[in-house]
């Protein structure tokens, strides 16, 4: 059960070509990310368009990631749904496939209360003996896992971390205050990586890491080593990419960027649509200024 979840973990985009998952492109992207210093990979999260992948595709994406990584970095499989029983089954399958940990999002749409949220995550932890990361993203789920609930969840040995995409530094500091001895805090919003690491978080689950893996890894490492001047400089260096990658709904911008970089087609599944026209031109200029696109 021992696993270190820290540094720059990348929420991988899922490549498509002509409507199907492009597994060759996925493997090429994974290899690039590992070679460029990513500290872990997260398939089938929000950035991976898990909501529009079939169950079979999700399994194949997780399997391909595990095979390509081949033990070099942890693989944290996204298994969350708004159906607790289905989430448990996804978690069981991820363990069978060889995932190192699970990313479990707070259930969207249902709007459970805090007791319902607690039982959802606890059910997964009780059933599947893998480290679990609680994904707190109220902007997408319409519910926030509150501090008291996180503290209760932290009592379970399988619940080891929280991905905080609240964008709220006070909430992040309160999470660390209440749960820091038992839960690893990971930034779930690229723009809060440096601030949360300065407060005591251990890393991030990053969208920008798809296009700038070395920069995100360097930023996290500088924070870990308390090189705060270096970390601050890296934060401001990558800040334009943070803005660019969230100029539209994730993962629309990052898939456009990866397409411009030659890693995949600029293709998404409905209801998401590709970036094009003036927005794509603006994105390309941002990538050029940041040195990501030559």
Q: What digits encode the pLDDT tens for the residues 144-162?
A: 999 999 999 999 999 999 9
Question: Would the pLDDT of 123 be above 90?
Answer: yes
> Can you give the pLDDT at residue 3?
84
Question: Would the pLDDT of 100 be above 80?
Answer: yes
User: DSSP class of residue 208?
Assistant: G
Average pLDDT over residues 248-261: 98
Average pLDDT over residues 51-80: 98
> Can you give the pLDDT at residue 80?
97
Contact (CB, 8 A) for 112 and 146: no
Contact (CB, 8 A) for 27 and 61: no
Average pLDDT over residues 277-290: 92
Average pLDDT over residues 100-119: 98
The proportion of the chain whose per-residue pLDDT surpasses 90, expressed as a percent, equals: 96
Angle between helices 84-97 and 114-127 (to 10 degrees): 30
Report the largest interatomic distance among the alpha carbons of the chain, rounded to a whole angstrom: 50
At 48, list the tokens. 């991976």
Question: Would the pLDDT of 1 be above 60?
Answer: no
β-partners of residue 226 are none
pLDDT per residue over 165-218, tens digit each? 999 999 999 999 999 999 999 999 999 999 999 999 999 999 999 999 999 999
Average pLDDT over residues 123-130: 98
pTM assigned to the model: 0.96
Compute how many other C-beta atoms are within 10 angstroms of the C-beta atom of residue 37.
18
Which domains are delineated in the chain? 7-227 (3.20.20.70)
Residues with a known catalytic role: 135, 163
> Can you give the pLDDT at residue 294?
77
Can you list the pairs that 54-59 forms with residues at least 24 positions away whose Cβ atoms lie under 8 Å? 55/90, 57/21, 58/90, 59/93, 59/97
Question: Would the pLDDT of 2 be above 80?
Answer: no
> Can you give the pLDDT at residue 24?
99
Tell me how far the alpha carbon of residue 148 is from its chain's centroid: 23
């Amino acid at each position: 059960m021992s696993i270190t979840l820290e540094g720059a973990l990348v929420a991988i985009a899922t490549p498509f070509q002509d409507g199907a998952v492009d597994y060759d492109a996925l493997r090429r992207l994974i290899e690039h990310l590992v070679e460029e210093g990513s500290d872990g990979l997260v398939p089938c999260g929000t950035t991976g368009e898990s909501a529009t992948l079939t169950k079979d595709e999700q399994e194949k994406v997780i399997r391909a990631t595990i095979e390509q990584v081949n033990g070099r970095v942890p693989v944290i499989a996204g298994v969350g749904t708004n159906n607790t029983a289905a989430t448990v089954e996804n978690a069981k399958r991820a363990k069978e496939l060889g995932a190192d940990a699970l990313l479990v999002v707070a259930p969207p749409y249902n709007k459970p209360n805090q007791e319902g949220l607690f039982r959802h995550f606890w059910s997964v932890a009780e059933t599947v003996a893998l480290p679990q990361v609680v994904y707190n993203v109220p902007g997408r789920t319409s519910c926030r896992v509150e501090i008291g609930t996180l503290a209760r969840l932290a009592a379970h040995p399988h619940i080891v971390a929280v991905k905080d995409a609240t964008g709220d530094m006070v909430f992040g500091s309160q999470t660390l205050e209440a749960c820091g001895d038992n839960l690893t805090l990971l930034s779930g919003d690229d723009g809060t990586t440096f601030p949360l690491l300065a407060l005591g978080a251990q890393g991030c689950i990053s969208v920008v890491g798809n296009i700038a893996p070395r920069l995100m890894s360097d930023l996290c490492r500088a924070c870990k080593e308390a090189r705060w001047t270096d970390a601050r400089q890296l934060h401001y260096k990558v800040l334009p990419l943070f803005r660019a990658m969230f100029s539209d709904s994730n993962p629309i911008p990052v898939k456009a960027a990866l397409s411009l970089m030659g890693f995949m087609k600029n293709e998404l599944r409905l209801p998401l649509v590709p970036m094009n026209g003036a927005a794509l031109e603006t994105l390309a200029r941002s990538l050029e200024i940041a040195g990501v696109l030559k």
